[in-house]
Chain A
Amino acid sequence: MQEEKKVIVPGPAGYNPQPAAFLGVDLPPPGRALLYGEEVDEEVAMREAAKAMLTRKNPTIFPGPLVLWGWNAAAMEKAKAVLELAMEIPNCRIIPMPDYRPKYPKIDPEAEINPNHPNLTILHNKIEACIFVGVHCHYANLSLRMIRAGTNCFTIALCAEMGHEDAMVSLRDQHAEEIRKFKDVLVQVREELSIKWEPKLPPENPSLPKEDWTKVTPFDFGEYAALLMPRKGEVVEESE
Protein backbone atom coordinates (compact mmCIF):
# COMPACT_ATOMS: atom_id res chain seq x y z
CA MET A 1 0.00 0.00 0.00
CA GLN A 2 1.29 3.40 -0.89
CA GLU A 3 2.05 5.78 1.93
CA GLU A 4 -0.19 8.61 0.65
CA LYS A 5 -3.23 6.32 0.65
CA LYS A 6 -3.10 5.95 4.45
CA VAL A 7 -5.85 8.16 5.81
CA ILE A 8 -6.16 6.79 9.33
CA VAL A 9 -2.79 6.23 10.97
CA PRO A 10 -1.59 6.06 14.61
CA GLY A 11 -1.65 9.52 16.23
CA PRO A 12 -1.35 11.71 18.07
CA ALA A 13 -3.54 13.52 15.53
CA GLY A 14 -4.06 16.42 17.91
CA TYR A 15 -7.00 17.69 19.92
CA ASN A 16 -10.40 16.98 18.38
CA PRO A 17 -9.30 15.55 15.00
CA GLN A 18 -11.72 15.31 12.11
CA PRO A 19 -13.71 12.08 12.35
CA ALA A 20 -12.61 9.49 9.79
CA ALA A 21 -16.08 9.57 8.22
CA PHE A 22 -15.56 13.29 7.43
CA LEU A 23 -12.26 12.37 5.78
CA GLY A 24 -14.15 10.18 3.32
CA VAL A 25 -13.72 6.80 5.04
CA ASP A 26 -16.67 4.49 4.36
CA LEU A 27 -17.58 1.30 6.20
CA PRO A 28 -16.90 -1.73 3.95
CA PRO A 29 -19.43 -4.31 2.68
CA PRO A 30 -19.49 -7.84 4.17
CA GLY A 31 -16.29 -9.81 3.62
CA ARG A 32 -14.18 -6.67 3.27
CA ALA A 33 -12.28 -4.68 5.87
CA LEU A 34 -10.70 -1.29 6.52
CA LEU A 35 -6.95 -0.80 6.64
CA TYR A 36 -5.73 2.74 7.35
CA GLY A 37 -9.14 3.97 6.17
CA GLU A 38 -8.99 2.13 2.82
CA GLU A 39 -11.25 -0.76 1.89
CA VAL A 40 -9.20 -3.96 1.46
CA ASP A 41 -9.59 -7.71 1.51
CA GLU A 42 -10.20 -9.05 5.02
CA GLU A 43 -7.08 -11.24 4.97
CA VAL A 44 -4.85 -8.26 4.09
CA ALA A 45 -6.21 -6.26 7.03
CA MET A 46 -5.88 -9.24 9.36
CA ARG A 47 -2.23 -9.69 8.48
CA GLU A 48 -1.43 -6.03 9.09
CA ALA A 49 -3.32 -6.12 12.42
CA ALA A 50 -1.42 -9.26 13.43
CA LYS A 51 1.88 -7.60 12.56
CA ALA A 52 1.03 -4.61 14.74
CA MET A 53 0.10 -6.78 17.72
CA LEU A 54 3.27 -8.85 17.27
CA THR A 55 5.79 -6.06 16.76
CA ARG A 56 4.57 -2.92 18.54
CA LYS A 57 5.13 -2.29 22.25
CA ASN A 58 2.80 -3.57 24.99
CA PRO A 59 0.06 -5.15 22.87
CA THR A 60 -3.21 -5.13 24.78
CA ILE A 61 -6.74 -6.43 24.29
CA PHE A 62 -9.56 -4.23 25.58
CA PRO A 63 -12.62 -6.45 25.90
CA GLY A 64 -15.93 -4.63 26.40
CA PRO A 65 -19.15 -5.56 28.17
CA LEU A 66 -20.46 -7.65 25.28
CA VAL A 67 -17.79 -10.29 25.92
CA LEU A 68 -16.94 -9.73 29.59
CA TRP A 69 -20.45 -10.53 30.79
CA GLY A 70 -21.91 -13.97 30.10
CA TRP A 71 -25.28 -12.69 29.00
CA ASN A 72 -25.82 -15.43 26.40
CA ALA A 73 -24.09 -18.49 24.97
CA ALA A 74 -22.64 -16.61 21.97
CA ALA A 75 -21.05 -14.01 24.27
CA MET A 76 -19.39 -16.71 26.35
CA GLU A 77 -18.10 -18.49 23.25
CA LYS A 78 -16.75 -15.21 21.91
CA ALA A 79 -15.06 -14.60 25.28
CA LYS A 80 -13.36 -17.97 24.97
CA ALA A 81 -12.14 -17.12 21.48
CA VAL A 82 -10.73 -13.79 22.75
CA LEU A 83 -8.74 -15.62 25.43
CA GLU A 84 -7.42 -18.07 22.82
CA LEU A 85 -6.30 -15.12 20.72
CA ALA A 86 -4.65 -13.44 23.73
CA MET A 87 -2.66 -16.60 24.43
CA GLU A 88 -1.01 -16.43 21.03
CA ILE A 89 0.19 -12.82 21.28
CA PRO A 90 3.58 -12.56 22.99
CA ASN A 91 3.38 -10.60 26.29
CA CYS A 92 -0.18 -9.57 25.62
CA ARG A 93 -2.25 -7.96 28.35
CA ILE A 94 -5.98 -7.82 28.91
CA ILE A 95 -7.39 -4.58 30.31
CA PRO A 96 -11.18 -4.68 30.51
CA MET A 97 -13.87 -2.09 29.88
CA PRO A 98 -16.68 -3.65 31.97
CA ASP A 99 -19.13 -0.79 31.43
CA TYR A 100 -19.26 2.84 30.30
CA ARG A 101 -20.03 4.81 33.43
CA PRO A 102 -17.82 7.79 34.12
CA LYS A 103 -15.28 7.22 36.88
CA TYR A 104 -14.38 10.27 38.91
CA PRO A 105 -12.30 11.27 40.82
CA LYS A 106 -10.06 8.66 39.14
CA ILE A 107 -9.68 5.25 37.55
CA ASP A 108 -6.92 2.74 38.08
CA PRO A 109 -5.35 2.72 34.58
CA GLU A 110 -3.66 -0.62 35.18
CA ALA A 111 -6.91 -2.32 36.13
CA GLU A 112 -9.36 -0.93 33.58
CA ILE A 113 -9.97 1.31 30.60
CA ASN A 114 -12.80 3.82 30.57
CA PRO A 115 -14.38 4.99 27.30
CA ASN A 116 -14.60 8.55 28.59
CA HIS A 117 -10.81 8.83 28.90
CA PRO A 118 -9.23 5.80 27.23
CA ASN A 119 -6.01 7.74 26.63
CA LEU A 120 -5.21 7.58 30.38
CA THR A 121 -4.92 3.80 30.31
CA ILE A 122 -3.03 3.78 27.01
CA LEU A 123 -0.51 6.44 27.98
CA HIS A 124 0.02 5.06 31.50
CA ASN A 125 0.79 1.57 30.19
CA LYS A 126 2.62 2.81 27.06
CA ILE A 127 0.37 0.66 24.86
CA GLU A 128 1.26 0.92 21.17
CA ALA A 129 -1.14 -1.67 19.75
CA CYS A 130 -4.58 -2.61 20.96
CA ILE A 131 -7.68 -4.56 20.05
CA PHE A 132 -11.22 -3.40 20.82
CA VAL A 133 -13.66 -6.27 21.04
CA GLY A 134 -17.18 -6.43 22.50
CA VAL A 135 -17.50 -2.68 22.95
CA HIS A 136 -20.85 -1.21 21.88
CA CYS A 137 -20.41 0.76 18.64
CA HIS A 138 -21.13 4.27 19.95
CA TYR A 139 -18.56 3.95 22.72
CA ALA A 140 -16.03 2.27 20.44
CA ASN A 141 -16.37 5.21 18.02
CA LEU A 142 -15.88 7.71 20.83
CA SER A 143 -12.86 5.92 22.30
CA LEU A 144 -11.13 5.12 19.02
CA ARG A 145 -11.21 8.73 17.94
CA MET A 146 -9.91 9.90 21.32
CA ILE A 147 -7.08 7.38 21.13
CA ARG A 148 -6.15 8.55 17.63
CA ALA A 149 -6.23 12.13 18.90
CA GLY A 150 -3.98 11.72 21.89
CA THR A 151 -1.77 8.63 21.59
CA ASN A 152 0.45 6.75 19.17
CA CYS A 153 -1.49 3.53 19.63
CA PHE A 154 -2.32 1.31 16.64
CA THR A 155 -6.02 0.49 17.04
CA ILE A 156 -7.75 -2.64 15.79
CA ALA A 157 -11.53 -3.05 15.97
CA LEU A 158 -12.96 -6.56 15.99
CA CYS A 159 -16.53 -5.43 15.49
CA ALA A 160 -19.62 -7.67 15.56
CA GLU A 161 -21.43 -5.14 13.37
CA MET A 162 -20.12 -3.03 10.46
CA GLY A 163 -16.82 -1.81 11.90
CA HIS A 164 -15.27 1.52 12.85
CA GLU A 165 -13.79 4.16 10.55
CA ASP A 166 -11.49 5.58 13.23
CA ALA A 167 -9.55 2.35 13.81
CA MET A 168 -6.39 1.66 11.82
CA VAL A 169 -7.72 -1.85 11.15
CA SER A 170 -11.43 -2.52 11.25
CA LEU A 171 -12.79 -6.03 10.79
CA ARG A 172 -16.55 -6.49 10.56
CA ASP A 173 -18.96 -9.30 11.57
CA GLN A 174 -16.48 -10.67 14.07
CA HIS A 175 -17.89 -13.44 16.27
CA ALA A 176 -16.20 -16.42 17.94
CA GLU A 177 -15.49 -18.23 14.68
CA GLU A 178 -14.08 -15.16 12.90
CA ILE A 179 -11.90 -14.29 15.91
CA ARG A 180 -10.45 -17.80 15.76
CA LYS A 181 -9.71 -17.25 12.08
CA PHE A 182 -7.88 -14.04 12.99
CA LYS A 183 -5.94 -16.00 15.60
CA ASP A 184 -4.83 -18.50 12.93
CA VAL A 185 -3.66 -15.66 10.70
CA LEU A 186 -1.77 -14.16 13.65
CA VAL A 187 -0.01 -17.43 14.41
CA GLN A 188 1.00 -17.73 10.75
CA VAL A 189 2.40 -14.18 10.65
CA ARG A 190 4.19 -14.84 13.95
CA GLU A 191 5.92 -17.84 12.42
CA GLU A 192 6.81 -15.89 9.28
CA LEU A 193 8.41 -13.26 11.50
CA SER A 194 10.27 -16.05 13.38
CA ILE A 195 8.93 -14.91 16.74
CA LYS A 196 9.16 -17.76 19.25
CA TRP A 197 6.27 -18.01 21.68
CA GLU A 198 4.62 -20.74 23.75
CA PRO A 199 0.87 -20.00 24.10
CA LYS A 200 0.03 -18.78 27.58
CA LEU A 201 -2.64 -16.69 29.25
CA PRO A 202 -1.90 -13.02 30.00
CA PRO A 203 -1.27 -11.94 33.61
CA GLU A 204 -4.37 -11.41 35.72
CA ASN A 205 -5.84 -8.06 36.72
CA PRO A 206 -3.46 -6.29 39.13
CA SER A 207 -6.37 -4.95 41.20
CA LEU A 208 -7.35 -8.43 42.37
CA PRO A 209 -6.06 -9.38 45.83
CA LYS A 210 -2.95 -11.48 45.50
CA GLU A 211 -2.24 -12.01 49.14
CA ASP A 212 -3.62 -14.72 51.31
CA TRP A 213 -4.28 -12.80 54.52
CA THR A 214 -4.31 -15.97 56.59
CA LYS A 215 -0.61 -16.45 55.91
CA VAL A 216 0.76 -13.02 56.81
CA THR A 217 4.17 -13.11 58.50
CA PRO A 218 5.92 -10.28 60.40
CA PHE A 219 8.03 -9.64 57.30
CA ASP A 220 4.92 -8.56 55.41
CA PHE A 221 4.82 -5.49 57.65
CA GLY A 222 8.14 -4.28 56.23
CA GLU A 223 9.78 -1.53 58.21
CA TYR A 224 6.89 -1.54 60.69
CA ALA A 225 7.54 -5.14 61.76
CA ALA A 226 9.98 -3.88 64.38
CA LEU A 227 7.19 -1.93 66.04
CA LEU A 228 4.98 -5.00 66.31
CA MET A 229 7.46 -7.60 67.52
CA PRO A 230 7.57 -7.91 71.30
CA ARG A 231 10.84 -6.60 72.67
CA LYS A 232 12.88 -8.62 75.09
CA GLY A 233 11.19 -8.55 78.45
CA GLU A 234 8.15 -6.63 77.14
CA VAL A 235 4.82 -7.88 78.47
CA VAL A 236 2.13 -7.91 75.81
CA GLU A 237 -1.32 -7.68 77.36
CA GLU A 238 -4.35 -9.58 75.99
CA SER A 239 -5.83 -6.24 74.91
CA GLU A 240 -3.99 -3.01 74.35
Chain B
Amino acid sequence: MGLEYVKISPGFEKYMPRDYVDLVEFGQFGKEIDVMQMGQFKELVEEHPMCAGCYMAYFIRVFYTALPKPEDTIVLGTAGCARLALSQAAVPFIYGNYGDTNAVASGLKRALSIRFPDKEKDVVVIAGDGGLMDIGFGMTMHSWFRREKFTTIMVDNEVYGNTGGQESGMSPKGIQLKMAPTGKKFDKINAVELAQTAGCVYVARISPTNPKRIAKVIRRAILAARKFGPTFIHAYTSCNIEYSIPTREVLADARQREKKDFKFYEWMTDEVKEYLNEIEKKAKEVKS
Protein backbone atom coordinates (compact mmCIF):
# COMPACT_ATOMS: atom_id res chain seq x y z
CA MET B 1 0.00 0.00 0.00
CA GLY B 2 1.10 3.51 -0.68
CA LEU B 3 2.31 5.42 -3.70
CA GLU B 4 5.70 3.64 -3.66
CA TYR B 5 3.87 0.52 -4.74
CA VAL B 6 2.82 2.10 -8.00
CA LYS B 7 6.30 3.10 -9.07
CA ILE B 8 8.03 0.64 -11.41
CA SER B 9 11.59 -0.37 -10.40
CA PRO B 10 14.03 1.48 -12.68
CA GLY B 11 14.99 -0.74 -15.61
CA PHE B 12 11.79 -2.78 -15.50
CA GLU B 13 9.59 -0.30 -17.36
CA LYS B 14 10.32 -2.21 -20.57
CA TYR B 15 9.29 -5.54 -19.06
CA MET B 16 5.94 -4.65 -17.51
CA PRO B 17 2.73 -5.56 -19.32
CA ARG B 18 1.13 -2.58 -20.97
CA ASP B 19 -1.83 -2.64 -18.57
CA TYR B 20 0.44 -1.81 -15.67
CA VAL B 21 2.47 0.81 -17.48
CA ASP B 22 -0.83 2.50 -18.38
CA LEU B 23 -2.04 2.25 -14.78
CA VAL B 24 1.07 4.07 -13.60
CA GLU B 25 1.06 6.67 -16.37
CA PHE B 26 -2.64 7.24 -16.97
CA GLY B 27 -4.27 5.78 -13.85
CA GLN B 28 -5.83 7.49 -10.83
CA PHE B 29 -3.06 6.86 -8.29
CA GLY B 30 -2.05 10.06 -6.54
CA LYS B 31 -4.47 12.16 -8.62
CA GLU B 32 -7.83 13.82 -8.13
CA ILE B 33 -10.18 12.20 -10.60
CA ASP B 34 -13.72 13.29 -11.41
CA VAL B 35 -16.17 10.54 -12.24
CA MET B 36 -17.22 12.43 -15.36
CA GLN B 37 -13.72 11.85 -16.75
CA MET B 38 -14.46 8.12 -17.03
CA GLY B 39 -13.17 6.86 -20.35
CA GLN B 40 -10.29 9.31 -20.35
CA PHE B 41 -8.03 7.56 -17.87
CA LYS B 42 -6.95 4.01 -17.12
CA GLU B 43 -9.54 2.63 -14.73
CA LEU B 44 -8.76 0.43 -11.73
CA VAL B 45 -11.07 -2.34 -12.89
CA GLU B 46 -11.67 -3.27 -16.50
CA GLU B 47 -12.14 -6.90 -17.45
CA HIS B 48 -14.33 -8.97 -15.18
CA PRO B 49 -16.47 -12.08 -15.49
CA MET B 50 -19.78 -10.61 -14.23
CA CYS B 51 -22.84 -10.95 -16.49
CA ALA B 52 -23.08 -8.64 -19.48
CA GLY B 53 -25.22 -5.66 -18.58
CA CYS B 54 -25.07 -6.32 -14.83
CA TYR B 55 -25.85 -3.11 -12.96
CA MET B 56 -23.76 -4.22 -10.00
CA ALA B 57 -20.72 -4.31 -12.29
CA TYR B 58 -21.47 -0.74 -13.38
CA PHE B 59 -21.78 0.38 -9.76
CA ILE B 60 -18.42 -1.22 -8.95
CA ARG B 61 -16.79 0.60 -11.83
CA VAL B 62 -18.06 3.92 -10.51
CA PHE B 63 -17.04 2.91 -6.98
CA TYR B 64 -13.39 2.55 -7.97
CA THR B 65 -13.40 5.87 -9.76
CA ALA B 66 -14.78 7.53 -6.63
CA LEU B 67 -12.09 6.25 -4.21
CA PRO B 68 -10.41 9.24 -2.61
CA LYS B 69 -7.08 7.42 -2.26
CA PRO B 70 -6.96 4.09 -4.10
CA GLU B 71 -3.30 3.59 -3.24
CA ASP B 72 -4.18 3.60 0.47
CA THR B 73 -7.36 1.54 0.30
CA ILE B 74 -8.14 -2.10 0.99
CA VAL B 75 -11.41 -3.50 -0.32
CA LEU B 76 -13.10 -6.41 1.40
CA GLY B 77 -15.60 -8.67 -0.26
CA THR B 78 -17.00 -12.14 0.09
CA ALA B 79 -18.88 -14.85 -1.78
CA GLY B 80 -21.42 -13.27 -4.12
CA CYS B 81 -21.28 -11.65 -7.53
CA ALA B 82 -19.46 -8.45 -6.57
CA ARG B 83 -16.21 -10.16 -5.65
CA LEU B 84 -15.83 -11.40 -9.23
CA ALA B 85 -14.97 -7.85 -10.25
CA LEU B 86 -13.55 -6.65 -6.91
CA SER B 87 -10.85 -9.32 -6.90
CA GLN B 88 -9.68 -8.27 -10.38
CA ALA B 89 -9.21 -4.58 -9.58
CA ALA B 90 -5.84 -2.91 -9.11
CA VAL B 91 -6.58 -2.25 -5.43
CA PRO B 92 -5.68 -4.74 -2.69
CA PHE B 93 -8.62 -7.04 -2.08
CA ILE B 94 -9.33 -9.41 0.80
CA TYR B 95 -11.89 -12.18 0.56
CA GLY B 96 -13.67 -12.52 3.89
CA ASN B 97 -15.47 -15.79 4.43
CA TYR B 98 -19.16 -15.46 3.63
CA GLY B 99 -20.73 -13.45 6.42
CA ASP B 100 -17.40 -12.49 8.01
CA THR B 101 -16.56 -9.36 6.04
CA ASN B 102 -17.30 -6.84 8.77
CA ALA B 103 -15.42 -8.81 11.42
CA VAL B 104 -12.37 -9.07 9.14
CA ALA B 105 -12.65 -5.38 8.26
CA SER B 106 -12.82 -4.43 11.95
CA GLY B 107 -9.59 -6.25 12.72
CA LEU B 108 -7.91 -4.95 9.58
CA LYS B 109 -8.82 -1.33 10.24
CA ARG B 110 -7.62 -1.55 13.82
CA ALA B 111 -4.35 -3.17 12.73
CA LEU B 112 -3.77 -0.51 10.07
CA SER B 113 -4.25 2.30 12.55
CA ILE B 114 -1.71 0.72 14.90
CA ARG B 115 0.79 0.05 12.13
CA PHE B 116 0.39 3.42 10.38
CA PRO B 117 -0.66 5.83 13.13
CA ASP B 118 0.03 8.94 11.03
CA LYS B 119 -1.50 7.78 7.76
CA GLU B 120 -5.06 7.48 6.53
CA LYS B 121 -5.78 3.94 5.36
CA ASP B 122 -9.28 3.31 4.09
CA VAL B 123 -11.09 0.01 4.49
CA VAL B 124 -14.26 -0.57 2.48
CA VAL B 125 -16.53 -3.60 2.57
CA ILE B 126 -18.61 -4.27 -0.54
CA ALA B 127 -20.89 -7.27 -0.22
CA GLY B 128 -24.31 -8.47 -1.24
CA ASP B 129 -27.61 -8.31 0.57
CA GLY B 130 -27.22 -11.97 1.57
CA GLY B 131 -23.67 -11.43 2.81
CA LEU B 132 -24.48 -8.40 4.95
CA MET B 133 -28.12 -8.60 5.98
CA ASP B 134 -28.67 -12.38 6.20
CA ILE B 135 -25.71 -14.61 6.86
CA GLY B 136 -23.37 -11.79 7.94
CA PHE B 137 -26.02 -9.92 9.88
CA GLY B 138 -24.39 -10.40 13.29
CA MET B 139 -20.96 -9.28 12.10
CA THR B 140 -22.40 -6.28 10.29
CA MET B 141 -24.37 -5.15 13.32
CA HIS B 142 -21.51 -5.61 15.74
CA SER B 143 -19.08 -3.65 13.61
CA TRP B 144 -21.60 -0.80 13.85
CA PHE B 145 -22.30 -1.20 17.57
CA ARG B 146 -18.57 -1.12 18.17
CA ARG B 147 -18.16 2.05 16.07
CA GLU B 148 -15.53 0.52 13.77
CA LYS B 149 -14.15 3.16 11.44
CA PHE B 150 -14.78 1.74 7.98
CA THR B 151 -17.36 1.92 5.22
CA THR B 152 -19.87 -0.82 4.41
CA ILE B 153 -21.52 -0.79 0.99
CA MET B 154 -24.38 -3.20 0.40
CA VAL B 155 -24.88 -3.97 -3.29
CA ASP B 156 -28.49 -5.02 -3.03
CA ASN B 157 -29.83 -7.06 -5.91
CA GLU B 158 -32.63 -8.41 -3.70
CA VAL B 159 -31.60 -12.02 -4.21
CA TYR B 160 -28.77 -14.51 -3.78
CA GLY B 161 -27.61 -13.89 -7.33
CA ASN B 162 -24.40 -15.87 -7.36
CA THR B 163 -26.04 -19.10 -6.25
CA GLY B 164 -28.96 -18.94 -8.65
CA GLY B 165 -31.87 -17.12 -7.06
CA GLN B 166 -32.71 -17.82 -3.42
CA GLU B 167 -34.67 -15.16 -1.55
CA SER B 168 -32.86 -12.88 0.88
CA GLY B 169 -34.06 -10.67 3.68
CA MET B 170 -33.80 -7.82 1.20
CA SER B 171 -36.09 -9.39 -1.42
CA PRO B 172 -39.43 -7.58 -1.66
CA LYS B 173 -42.47 -9.18 0.01
CA GLY B 174 -44.40 -11.54 -2.24
CA ILE B 175 -41.64 -11.97 -4.83
CA GLN B 176 -41.23 -15.40 -6.42
CA LEU B 177 -37.71 -16.34 -7.32
CA LYS B 178 -36.25 -19.36 -9.12
CA MET B 179 -35.36 -21.09 -5.88
CA ALA B 180 -38.10 -19.53 -3.74
CA PRO B 181 -41.21 -20.46 -5.71
CA THR B 182 -43.78 -20.01 -2.94
CA GLY B 183 -43.16 -16.29 -2.65
CA LYS B 184 -41.52 -14.27 0.08
CA LYS B 185 -43.57 -14.05 3.27
CA PHE B 186 -42.15 -10.97 5.00
CA ASP B 187 -41.09 -7.41 4.17
CA LYS B 188 -37.78 -6.17 2.88
CA ILE B 189 -35.49 -5.36 5.81
CA ASN B 190 -35.07 -1.64 6.41
CA ALA B 191 -31.30 -1.64 6.36
CA VAL B 192 -30.84 2.11 6.40
CA GLU B 193 -32.87 2.55 9.56
CA LEU B 194 -31.01 -0.30 11.22
CA ALA B 195 -27.67 1.29 10.34
CA GLN B 196 -28.74 4.60 11.80
CA THR B 197 -29.94 2.99 15.02
CA ALA B 198 -26.87 0.78 15.33
CA GLY B 199 -24.46 3.71 15.33
CA CYS B 200 -23.43 4.56 11.78
CA VAL B 201 -22.40 8.20 11.47
CA TYR B 202 -23.23 8.47 7.77
CA VAL B 203 -25.97 6.53 5.99
CA ALA B 204 -27.19 6.71 2.40
CA ARG B 205 -29.65 4.85 0.20
CA ILE B 206 -29.18 5.21 -3.51
CA SER B 207 -30.41 3.90 -6.80
CA PRO B 208 -27.44 4.40 -9.09
CA THR B 209 -28.96 6.56 -11.79
CA ASN B 210 -26.54 9.46 -11.53
CA PRO B 211 -22.78 8.72 -11.53
CA LYS B 212 -21.87 12.07 -9.98
CA ARG B 213 -24.15 11.38 -7.04
CA ILE B 214 -22.88 7.82 -6.57
CA ALA B 215 -19.31 9.12 -6.47
CA LYS B 216 -20.22 11.87 -4.02
CA VAL B 217 -21.95 9.48 -1.64
CA ILE B 218 -19.03 7.00 -1.74
CA ARG B 219 -16.47 9.72 -1.11
CA ARG B 220 -18.47 11.15 1.76
CA ALA B 221 -18.91 7.74 3.36
CA ILE B 222 -15.18 6.99 3.16
CA LEU B 223 -14.06 10.39 4.43
CA ALA B 224 -16.52 10.29 7.34
CA ALA B 225 -15.41 6.76 8.30
CA ARG B 226 -11.79 7.89 8.58
CA LYS B 227 -12.58 10.24 11.44
CA PHE B 228 -15.88 9.44 13.09
CA GLY B 229 -17.10 5.85 12.86
CA PRO B 230 -18.96 3.33 10.74
CA THR B 231 -20.66 4.48 7.54
CA PHE B 232 -23.15 2.63 5.36
CA ILE B 233 -24.41 2.86 1.79
CA HIS B 234 -27.38 0.83 0.62
CA ALA B 235 -27.22 0.69 -3.17
CA TYR B 236 -29.82 -0.84 -5.45
CA THR B 237 -27.89 -2.84 -8.04
CA SER B 238 -30.40 -4.92 -9.93
CA CYS B 239 -29.70 -8.47 -11.08
CA ASN B 240 -30.84 -8.61 -14.68
CA ILE B 241 -30.49 -12.39 -14.70
CA GLU B 242 -32.55 -13.37 -11.64
CA TYR B 243 -35.13 -10.61 -12.13
CA SER B 244 -35.22 -11.01 -15.93
CA ILE B 245 -34.58 -7.36 -16.68
CA PRO B 246 -33.44 -6.94 -20.28
CA THR B 247 -30.06 -5.22 -20.36
CA ARG B 248 -31.34 -2.17 -22.22
CA GLU B 249 -33.96 -1.61 -19.52
CA VAL B 250 -31.67 -1.82 -16.54
CA LEU B 251 -31.30 1.94 -16.18
CA ALA B 252 -35.03 2.54 -16.64
CA ASP B 253 -35.67 0.01 -13.88
CA ALA B 254 -33.24 1.82 -11.58
CA ARG B 255 -35.04 5.10 -12.30
CA GLN B 256 -38.38 3.55 -11.56
CA ARG B 257 -37.21 2.15 -8.24
CA GLU B 258 -35.73 5.53 -7.40
CA LYS B 259 -39.23 6.97 -7.57
CA LYS B 260 -40.61 4.26 -5.29
CA ASP B 261 -38.73 2.49 -2.50
CA PHE B 262 -35.19 3.57 -3.42
CA LYS B 263 -35.66 7.33 -3.13
CA PHE B 264 -32.33 9.00 -2.52
CA TYR B 265 -31.79 9.30 1.20
CA GLU B 266 -28.79 10.68 3.05
CA TRP B 267 -28.32 11.14 6.77
CA MET B 268 -25.28 12.08 8.84
CA THR B 269 -24.45 13.30 12.33
CA ASP B 270 -23.92 17.02 12.86
CA GLU B 271 -20.17 16.68 13.31
CA VAL B 272 -19.88 14.69 10.07
CA LYS B 273 -21.92 17.36 8.28
CA GLU B 274 -19.63 20.09 9.54
CA TYR B 275 -16.51 18.14 8.61
CA LEU B 276 -17.70 17.28 5.10
CA ASN B 277 -18.90 20.85 4.46
CA GLU B 278 -15.47 22.12 5.29
CA ILE B 279 -13.70 19.61 3.02
CA GLU B 280 -16.08 20.20 0.13
CA LYS B 281 -15.83 23.98 0.50
CA LYS B 282 -12.04 23.77 0.34
CA ALA B 283 -12.18 21.50 -2.72
CA LYS B 284 -14.46 24.00 -4.49
CA GLU B 285 -12.09 26.86 -3.71
CA VAL B 286 -9.15 24.90 -5.13
CA LYS B 287 -11.12 24.17 -8.30
CA SER B 288 -12.14 27.78 -8.88
B17 & A71 in contact (Cβ 8 Å cutoff): no
Task: Kindly state the interface size class of chain A when it binds its partner.
Answer: 20 to 34
Say whether B47 faces chain A, with CB atoms less than 8 Å apart: yes
Q: How many residues of B contact A (CB 8 A)?
A: 27
Say whether A83 faces chain B, with CB atoms less than 8 Å apart: yes
Contacts of B48 on A, CB cut-off 8 Å? 104
Which single residue of chain A is at the shortest CB-CB distance from B45?
Answer: A101
A205 & B88 in contact (Cβ 8 Å cutoff): no
B10 & A70 in contact (Cβ 8 Å cutoff): yes
B16 & A98 in contact (Cβ 8 Å cutoff): yes
B9 & A101 in contact (Cβ 8 Å cutoff): no
Say whether A75 faces chain B, with CB atoms less than 8 Å apart: yes
A204 & B17 in contact (Cβ 8 Å cutoff): no
Assembly CA distance A72 to B8 (angstroms): 11
Which single residue of chain A is at the shortest CB-CB distance from B4?
Answer: A71
A208 & B14 in contact (Cβ 8 Å cutoff): yes
Assembly CA distance A103 to B16 (angstroms): 16
From residue 56 to 94 of chain B, which have CB atoms closer than 8 A to chain A? 84, 87-90, 93
Chain A nearest CB: distance from B15 CB in Å? 5
Chain B nearest CB: distance from A82 CB in Å? 8
Contacts of A204 on B, CB cut-off 8 Å? 14-15
A69 & B47 in contact (Cβ 8 Å cutoff): no
Return the CB mask of A185-218 against B: 1 if under 8 Å, else 0: 0000000000000000110110111000000000
Assembly CA distance A202 to B49 (angstroms): 34
Assembly CA distance A91 to B196 (angstroms): 63
Say whether B7 faces chain A, with CB atoms less than 8 Å apart: yes
Q: A108-B17, A111-B18, A207-B17 are in contact. Are A101 and B90 (CB under 8 A)?
A: yes
Return the CB mask of A53-96 against B: 1 if under 8 Å, else 0: 00000000001010111111001100110010000000000101
A207 & B87 in contact (Cβ 8 Å cutoff): no
Assembly CA distance A72 to B19 (angstroms): 23
Chain B nearest CB: distance from A122 CB in Å? 16
Return the CB mask of A132-161 against B: 1 if under 8 Å, else 0: 000000000000000000000000000000
A76 & B16 in contact (Cβ 8 Å cutoff): no
From residue 105 to 148 of chain A, which have CB atoms closer than 8 A to chain B? 105, 108, 111-112
Assembly CA distance A204 to B18 (angstroms): 11
Q: A96-B17, A104-B47 are in contact. Are A69 and B11 (CB under 8 A)?
A: no
Say whether B243 faces chain A, with CB atoms less than 8 Å apart: no
Which single residue of chain B is at the shortest CB-CB distance from A113?
Answer: B17
B9 & A70 in contact (Cβ 8 Å cutoff): yes
**30 intermolecular pairs with C-beta atoms under 8 Å apart:** A63-B12, A67-B9, A68-B8, A68-B9, A68-B15, A69-B5, A72-B4, A76-B10, A79-B9, A80-B10, A80-B11, A83-B11, A98-B16, A98-B17, A98-B20, A101-B87, A101-B93, A103-B47, A104-B47, A104-B49, A104-B84, A104-B88, A108-B17, A204-B14, A205-B15, A205-B17, A207-B17, A207-B19, A208-B16, A208-B18
